[in-house]
């Protein structure tokens, strides 16, 4: 196996935890209660989130264990050893397409949210372009700086989510949570699939493992990174169902953002919590789309070693902008997202089992 050149900048394994948590708690959390409510009865969706989260934790641990077996090695490097370079290159190309699609989807969703609630007179293309220019600027800099941004923003995100859960509790109605355990097996499976897709942000560990100086604890940090959004997903879903009910949640495009509109603090200390939540989610979507964009650039740089990073960024940027503007309305965006769910889950499970199986056969072999 040809060793990947040691990166000039390193991160700690704890940085992976913050990056995984931020990448999972993306725009998905705003409409996840709707997807869950579509397939479940009353508050039974918490069970599908629990099952999806447990499956994600198992997959994440195995994936991080595989990646950490090859410290300071790029994905293309250790995958080439395990499954041959042509196959590793094909896997990298699929991941590139996938992360380009994820970055486009995140940018389009935050532009749609901005256009719907704030900039209703501003063309959607202008909002989207402004956002992608910021992503391009951040991706052009240091890769380690992306992880520092995640750590910097993390306390604000957690604080905002806690306020979102705490303040609306008085408006919850117990009857909206009943009856329990009424969802059939088909609804549980479909809800679990939607929930599992919401946790797939842990896949970034495959590509950023080369930056971790001592990755011995990376599997543990990856699992801890999942547990943060795992807790908030369940609690926020229960709060949405308790306030809106299952039928209303099913018909709200952004149930969590609608939840922020009914938040009232003691003494009206916070009058427009939805504006605060919008800022928080802009930060979350920014880091998520940034990491997806950066991973696509990273993989292309590994395949085309002589290509300049800035050149790759400027080639990908118009492609991502075009894909983000391709759907005509939110209905088409929703349809594309539904297709992405099955493709991403199927491919990630396939890669995990393929690399894990080959690791058992070949073992870890490090050449000087």
Residue 360 has pLDDT above 80, yes or no: yes
Residue 96 has pLDDT above 80, yes or no: yes
Q: Residue 151 CA to chain centroid, in angstroms?
A: 16
Q: Which residues contact 189 (CB under 8 A, 6 or more apart)?
A: none
* Main-chain phi, psi angles of 74, to 5 degrees: -75, 165
Q: What is the largest CA-CA distance in the chain?
A: 66
* Main-chain phi, psi angles of 302, to 5 degrees: -75, -35
Higher pLDDT, 4 or 171: 171
DSSP, res 181: S
pLDDT the model gives residue 272: 64
Higher pLDDT, 259 or 315: 315
Higher pLDDT, 188 or 278: 188
pLDDT the model gives residue 270: 57
Least confident of 74-78, 164-168, 273-277: 273-277
pLDDT the model gives residue 257: 80
Per residue in 104-158, pLDDT tens? Answer: 988 888 888 787 777 778 888 888 998 999 999 999 888 888 898 888 888 888 8
Per residue in 237-266, pLDDT tens? Answer: 999 999 999 888 988 888 888 887 776 555
Average pLDDT score over the chain = 86
Residue in this structure with the two tokens 């979102």, named with its chain if needed = 164
Instruction: Report the percent of the chain where pLDDT is more than 70.
Output: 93
CA distance 143 to 139: 7
Per residue in 202-246, pLDDT tens? Answer: 999 999 988 888 888 899 999 999 999 999 999 999 999 999 998
Phi-psi region of 181 (alpha: psi -120 to 50; beta: other; left: phi over 0): left
Helix (H, G, I), strand (E, B) or coil at 254: coil
Per the structure block, which two tokens stand in for 91? 């896997």
* Main-chain phi, psi angles of 11, to 5 degrees: -130, 165
Higher pLDDT, 276 or 63: 63
Q: Which residues contact 265 (CB under 8 A, 6 or more apart)?
A: 163, 167, 273
CA distance 238 to 30: 14
pLDDT the model gives residue 160: 82
């Amino acid at each position: 196996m040809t060793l990947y050149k040691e990166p000039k900048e390193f991160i700690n394994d704890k940085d992976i935890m913050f990056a995984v948590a931020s990448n999972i708690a993306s725009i998905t959390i705003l409409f996840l209660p709707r997807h869950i409510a579509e397939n479940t009865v009353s508050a039974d969706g918490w069970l599908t989130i629990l099952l999806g989260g447990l499956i994600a934790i198992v997959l994440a641990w195995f994936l991080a264990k595989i990646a950490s077996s090859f410290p300071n090695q790029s994905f293309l490097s250790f995958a080439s050893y395990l499954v041959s370079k042509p196959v590793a290159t094909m896997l990298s190309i699929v991941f590139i397409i996938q992360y380009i699609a994820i970055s486009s989807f995140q940018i389009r969703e935050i532009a749609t949210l901005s256009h719907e609630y704030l900039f209703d007179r501003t063309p959607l293309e202008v909002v989207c372009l402004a956002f992608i220019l910021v992503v391009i600027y951040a991706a052009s800099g240091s890769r380690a700086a992306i992880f520092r941004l995640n750590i910097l923003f993390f306390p604000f995100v957690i604080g905002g989510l806690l306020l979102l859960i705490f303040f609306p509790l008085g408006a919850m109605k117990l009857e909206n949570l009943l009856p329990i355990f009424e969802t059939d097996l088909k609804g549980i499976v479909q809800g679990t699939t939607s929930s599992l897709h919401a946790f797939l942000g842990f896949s970034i560990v495959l590509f950023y493992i080369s930056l971790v100086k001592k990755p011995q604890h990376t599997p543990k940090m990856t699992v801890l990174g999942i547990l943060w959004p795992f807790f908030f997903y369940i609690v926020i879903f229960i709060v949405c169902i308790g306030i809106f009910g299952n039928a209303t949640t099913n018909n709200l495009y952004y149930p969590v953002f609608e939840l922020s509109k009914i938040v009232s603090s003691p003494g009206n200390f916070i009058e427009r919590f939805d504006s605060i939540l919008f800022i928080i989610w802009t930060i979350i979507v920014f880091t998520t789309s940034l990491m997806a964009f950066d991973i696509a650039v990273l993989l292309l740089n590994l395949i085309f070693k002589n290509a300049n990073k800035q050149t790759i960024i400027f080639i990908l940027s118009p492609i991502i902008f075009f894909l983000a503007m391709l759907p005509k309305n939110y209905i088409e965006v929703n349809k594309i997202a539904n297709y992405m769910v099955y493709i991403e889950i199927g491919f990630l499970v396939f890669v995990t089992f393929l690399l894990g199986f080959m690791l058992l056969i070949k073992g870890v072999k490090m050449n000087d």
